Chains A and B, each alone.
Chain A
Amino acid sequence: MIRLDPDAILDRLAREIPTDLHDDVYLIGSLAAAHHHRGQIELHGVNTKDADLIVQPVGNIAAVEGIASKLRAAGWAWKLDFAPAGSATTPEDALPDVRLLPPDPGAAYWIEFQGLPEVEQAEPVRRTRVVVEGGHFSVPVYRFAGVTARGLRVTPLGIRCATPSMMALSNLLGHSEVGTHRMSSPIGGRECLRSAKDLGRVLAFAYLGDRREMEDWLDSWLQALQACFPRSWKILGARTGAGLRALLADAQAMSDAHWATTYGLLSGKGVDQASFVALGRAFLADLVEPFEDRCRKA
Chain B
Amino acid sequence: MRIEHSTISPPKGFMAAPPGSPYELRRRDGRVVVEIKREAGAVRDLHAALIQLAKVVKRDRKIEWGCLVLVRGRMTAEKAFNEWTEIVDGLLDAQVRKRLALIWIEPGSFATRPETPELQALGASLKESLEGVEAAWRGRRANVTPALFEVVKVLLHAWLRGRGPLAVGEIQSAAGVAYATAANALAFLEDRHEVTRRSDRSAELTSFPTASWSEILALSESLRRPAWYADRTGRPLDPEFLLERLQKRVPEGVAVGGVVAARHWDPSFNLNGTPRLDVTLHALTGPSLADLLARIDTSLERSWRADERTVLVVHPLSRRETFFERVAAGPLAIADPVETLLDLQEMRLVPQAEELVRALRKGHDSTRP
Contact = CB atoms under 8 A, between A and B. Distances in A.
Interface of A: 207, 211-212, 269-272, 274-276, 278-279, 281-283, 285-286
B238 A211 contact: yes
Interface string B269-304: 000000000000000000000000000011101000
Contact of B234 (A212, A279, A286): A279
B299 A282 contact: yes
A212 B299 contact: no
Contacts of B233: 207, 275, 278-279, 282
Report, nearest first, the 6 A-B pairs whose CB atoms are least far apart.
A282-B299, A275-B234, A278-B232, A279-B233, A285-B298, A278-B233
A286 B241 contact: no
Contact of B241 (A211, A275, A283): A211
Contacts of A283: 299
Q: Give the secondary structure class of B's interface.
A: loop
A274 B309 CA distance: 14
Interface in B210-237: 231-235
A211 B235 CA distance: 10
A155 B231 CA distance: 34
A279 B298 contact: no
B235 A279 contact: yes
A274 B232 contact: yes
A239 B165 CA distance: 63
Interface of B: 231-235, 238, 241, 244, 297-299, 301
Contacts of A282: 231, 233, 297, 299
A270 B299 CA distance: 20
Given A276-B234, A282-B233, A212 B301 contact: no
Contacts of B231: 278, 282
Contact of A286 (B232, B238, B299): B299
A158 B363 CA distance: 62
Nearest to B301: A278
Contacts of B298: 285-286
A212 B241 contact: yes
A238 B95 CA distance: 49
Given A207-B233, A212-B244, A281 B238 contact: no
A281 B299 CA distance: 7
26 contacts: A207-B233, A207-B234, A211-B235, A212-B241, A269-B234, A271-B234, A272-B234, A274-B232, A275-B232, A275-B233, A275-B234, A276-B234, A278-B231, A278-B232, A278-B299, A279-B233, A279-B234, A279-B235, A281-B299, A282-B231, A282-B297, A283-B299, A285-B299, A286-B297, A286-B298, A286-B299
Nearest to A290: B298
Nearest to A40: B236
Given A279-B234, A285-B298, 10 more contacts: A207-B234, A211-B238, A269-B234, A272-B234, A274-B232, A278-B232, A278-B234, A279-B233, A279-B235, A286-B298
Contacts of B299: 278, 281-283, 285-286
A275 B231 CA distance: 9
Contacts of B297: 282, 286
A272 B55 CA distance: 15
A276 B234 CA distance: 8
Choose among A212, A276, A282 the residue with the greatest number of B CB atoms under 10 Å from its CB.
A282
Contacts of B238: 211
Contacts of A270: 234
B144 to A, nearest CB: 37
A291 to B, nearest CB: 14
A66 B240 CA distance: 51
A212 B240 CA distance: 11
B240 to A, nearest CB: 10
A217 to B, nearest CB: 15
A282 B229 CA distance: 13
A16 to B, nearest CB: 36
Contacts of A278: 231-234, 299, 301
Nearest to B298: A285
A249 to B, nearest CB: 17
Contacts of A271: 234
Contacts of B235: 207, 211, 279
Nearest to B235: A207
Nearest to B297: A286
A226 to B, nearest CB: 25
